[in-house]
Amino acid sequence: MPISATGKPPIRPVPRRHRRAWGFTLLELMIVVAIAGIASAAVALALRDSRQSQLDREALRLVALLESARAQSRATGVSTFWRATATGFEFSTGPQTQPGQWDDAATQASSPAPVPLGPEPVIGPQQVRLWSRDAPERSLWLRTDGLRAFAVYTTP
């Protein structure tokens, strides 16, 4: 066995099949970047403005309550009106089985007059504006043409 000048045996080259690869291939790097991009997009979508989503939920809840009161008014033949109050809202008929408070205390509502909900099948065009005290620049409108159900709109 030959010995080098330093007294150590010479270094033999390692066969190609036994070499360890150092670093990453371009494909591995692209996969990691794609996974990071998808994860960051999912986080960005999950972090939606809570005030916006709370106002959306309140609008959908009020649509359901208005339609429920409208159907009940038509079934019983008793006139029903909805109006906004300083602390929430109220329905003008019988025992207060309907809720009268917002889920979010910052929610406010207004309408030009009390909103008639029945018992007539055609109630005339109605509109209610919802907004949050925390973000008054964004409003939602609940409208009906009198024939169709109430729906949520982002424009007046």
Delineate the domains of the chain, giving CATH numbers in brackets: 51-153 (3.55.40.10)
Q: Select from 58, 140, 129, 134 the least CA-distant residue to 99.
A: 58
pTM of the model: 0.68
Q: What is the model's pLDDT at position 32?
A: 95
Q: What is the pLDDT of residues 78-91, one digit of tens each?
A: 899 999 998 899 99
How far apart CA 74 and CA 67 sit, in angstroms, is 11
Rounded mean pLDDT, 29-45: 92
Q: Select from 113, 112, 142 the least CA-distant residue to 130.
A: 142
- For residue 9, is pLDDT > 90? no
> Residue 106 CB: number of other CB atoms within 10 A?
15
Determine which helix (DSSP H) or strand (DSSP E) holds 115, and give its type and residue range: strand 115-118
Kindly list the strands in the beta sheet with 107-110, ordered across the sheet, starting from the edge strand earlier in the chain: 107-110, 126-132, 135-144, 151-153
- For residue 98, is pLDDT > 90? no
CA angle 139, 142, 147 (to 5 degrees): 160
Rounded mean pLDDT, 32-53: 84
